[in-house]
A and B are shown apart, each in its own frame.
Chain A
Amino acid sequence: MTIVVLVKYVPDAQFDRHLDGARHTIDRAESILSELDEYPLEAALQLAEARGGASAGNRIIAVTMGPESASAAVKKALQIGAYEGVHLSDPALAGSDVAGTSKALAALIDSLGPVDLVLTGMASTDGETSLVPAQLAARLGFGQATFAAALELDGDLAVVRRDGDAFSEVIEVQLPAVISVTDQINDPRYPNFKGIMAAKKRKIEVLTLAGIGLDPATVGASGAQAVVARSQPVPARGAGVLITDSGDAGIALVDFLADQKLL
């Protein structure tokens, strides 16, 4: 089977993250493979390995879109174990909103030939919208099951458990499908020496919008349907009072609640 895993190159949340003041886009220095994309990658590896791996004709294609530097996310995915890598890179993609991103990814996936499963993380750790998988499924005409905490394949049916607030539900979706997975689904593996060496031999295919037959005007800043007009940093939250318990900290806690009228 052919599984596409979407991977994104995102600013590392361990450092301060910034918006560019003029264009309101995210400053992409100090970026990494989004941690939440390690889970769909692991899920893909497990599914493919259970079916005989690459030698049995299974494909795991790690796919990203973004500036040149974004290929680092695909490279990391190859080191972890993805079999192939594709990077959609085109200056016209800059400033894409959810609509543009899902259009570009759909055209890219269409260009890869028959795909059984598209796996994604539950959200990107930069935009954090969780909207792209749903729009991607719509544009591909695939079924959709999101926030999978468990995933099994039963022939050409994907069986997904999804834990909502009030309900836990099991969803059966016909392949081909787009499925996003949570961090509850598995424990991602780390790249090992063998994987890192193997990744060196794998080439990352770089595609442009022309290469996948997409009109640049429909994506990027020119195609965006949602636009940011203003952005402003929220003043950093400072530390308040720090006390060490010497026997009456519980009382101090209650005094604080009373002062804020929260009792």
Chain B
Amino acid sequence: MRNIVVFIDQPGSALGKAGKELLTFARGLGAPVAAVAGELSEAVRAELGEYGVAQVLNSNQAELFEYSIVPKAEFLAVAAQRVDAQLVLTGNSAEHKEIAARLAVLLDAGVISDAVGVVADADAGIQVEKLVLAGSYTVSASVRSAIGIVALKANGVEPEAAGSSSAAAVETVEVPFSELALRARIASRQARPASGRPELSEARIVVAGGRGVDGDFGPVEELADLLGAAVGASRAATDAGWIDHSAQVGQTGKTVSPQLYISVGISGAIQQKAGMQTSKFIVAVNQDAESPVFEIADLGIVGDLFTVLPQAIEEIKRRRA
């Protein structure tokens, strides 16, 4: 069995959903080896074991967190070489994609980002599935290099613990960071206020508001909370300052692929569609029957969001009572 290195970035006190997904993928392809940057708690070590990890490489060197991106790539390069990995899997956040890109240079390897699936084919080797041109094509790609680097999107697989769990052996790695790794210093870091809602790119349901909410995200947030959904927004809404930029869905915001996307007061410009058109179901509420969002909505409602949403909210409460 070949070793598959899975990057686990600062897990804190518990393994997140994204890490569990990566490990689930890795188990289907070979033997998962966790490369953990940051402090490794006993609880996380146990969870890694439950997800089929027998070997953990860990570095908690300060440079990993004091400088931007490159130290983490150098850590992963050491880890991949230590276990002679065939594949390195990372998450697909902006930061993790760049780590994957730098790692690929360090290992002289091919890199594929935005992957939605990875399969090991006996003849063709490792095949990576991804969507391109804003979700209008699927492609199957592979690397020619001895080792491949793949950044995987969230929600590609249900995280599943391995049948049997073993205690993962932990090895501490000391990375000899290069001068180049220490060029970009993180001068300050500020946590963004947590909403308490699910993370946008991982959520099963997203309720998104646009210019039509006219400054009032109240109904959008209330519906989202009833459904356990994340709140998204169009650029018009984030540019207006009605909601944080991190909520923006679209070409220059986040790409989401939830089970359900409820689009409220959003016209559906091409840049907005690019971020949400791979959702399983789309419901759109908009006053204007000509809005392009209706071209892709499974259920389109021509109406005023300030009457449709409160009615839906009351109805959900009534049915649940």
A residues sitting closer than 8 Å to B (CB atoms) are 13-14, 16-19, 24, 26, 36, 97-99, 102, 122, 125-135, 138-139, 141-147, 149, 159, 163-174, 177, 182-184, 224-234, 236-245, 248-254, 256-258, 260, 262-263
A-B contact count (CB 8 A): 268
| Set of chain B residues within 8 Å of A24, measured between Cβ atoms | 139
Q: How far is the CA of A132 from the CA of B98 in the complex (A)?
A: 9
The reply to whether B252 and A36 contact each other, CB–CB distance below 8 Å, is yes
Given contacts A147-B94, A164-B95, A253-B283, contact A98 B70 (CB under 8 A): no
User: Chain B's interface: helix, strand, loop or mixed, by majority?
Assistant: mixed
Closest Cβ of chain B to A142, distance in Å, is 8
Q: Which residue of B lies closest to A245 (CB)?
A: B303
Closest Cβ of chain A to B216, distance in Å, is 17
Within 8 Å by CB of A167, from B140, B191, B205, B251, lies B191
The reply to whether A172 and B187 contact each other, CB–CB distance below 8 Å, is yes
The reply to whether B319 and A254 contact each other, CB–CB distance below 8 Å, is yes
Within 8 Å by CB of B187, from A128, A159, A164, A256, lies A159
B residues sitting closer than 8 Å to A (CB atoms) are 68-70, 93-95, 97-98, 100-102, 104-106, 108-114, 124, 127, 131-145, 180, 183-192, 199, 205, 227, 245-246, 251-252, 259-260, 262, 270-271, 274, 277, 281-283, 285, 289, 294-304, 307-316, 319-320
Closest Cβ of chain A to B59, distance in Å, is 20
The reply to whether B186 and A169 contact each other, CB–CB distance below 8 Å, is yes
Given contacts A19-B132, A171-B185, A243-B301, contact A237 B296 (CB under 8 A): yes
| Set of chain B residues within 8 Å of A98, measured between Cβ atoms | 101, 104, 111
| Set of chain A residues within 8 Å of B259, measured between Cβ atoms | 260, 262
Within 8 Å by CB of B114, from A129, A169, A240, A260, lies A129
Q: How far is the CA of A139 from the CA of B274 in the complex (A)?
A: 31
Closest Cβ of chain A to B260, distance in Å, is 5
The reply to whether A168 and B252 contact each other, CB–CB distance below 8 Å, is no
For the complex of A and B, the 10 pairs showing the least CB-CB separation, nearest first, are A250-B311, A245-B303, A225-B110, A143-B183, A240-B298, A226-B110, A250-B312, A134-B101, A131-B101, A242-B300
The reply to whether B299 and A256 contact each other, CB–CB distance below 8 Å, is yes
The reply to whether B260 and A260 contact each other, CB–CB distance below 8 Å, is yes
Given contacts A134-B69, A144-B69, contact A183 B252 (CB under 8 A): yes
Within 8 Å by CB of A228, from B94, B139, B188, lies B139
The reply to whether A226 and B184 contact each other, CB–CB distance below 8 Å, is no
Q: Which residue of A lies closest to B235 (CB)?
A: A183
The reply to whether B110 and A231 contact each other, CB–CB distance below 8 Å, is no
The reply to whether A256 and B104 contact each other, CB–CB distance below 8 Å, is no
Instruction: List 5 other contacts, CB 8 Å, given A18-B133, A159-B187, A250-B314.
Output: A167-B189, A171-B186, A229-B124, A253-B283, A258-B319
Q: Which residue of B lies closest to A248 (CB)?
A: B311
Q: How far is the CA of A258 from the CA of B104 in the complex (A)?
A: 46
| Set of chain B residues within 8 Å of A142, measured between Cβ atoms | 183
Q: Which residue of B lies closest to A246 (CB)?
A: B303
Closest Cβ of chain B to A140, distance in Å, is 10
Within 8 Å by CB of B315, from A138, A232, A251, lies A251
| Set of chain A residues within 8 Å of B320, measured between Cβ atoms | 263
The reply to whether B68 and A249 contact each other, CB–CB distance below 8 Å, is no
Q: How far is the CA of A159 from the CA of B186 in the complex (A)?
A: 10
30 A–B contacts, CB within 8 A, in A order? A13-B251, A16-B136, A99-B111, A128-B132, A130-B113, A131-B111, A144-B69, A169-B190, A171-B187, A173-B68, A224-B110, A226-B110, A228-B141, A229-B127, A229-B140, A229-B141, A231-B137, A234-B131, A237-B296, A242-B294, A242-B301, A244-B289, A244-B301, A245-B303, A245-B304, A253-B262, A253-B299, A256-B283, A256-B298, A263-B319
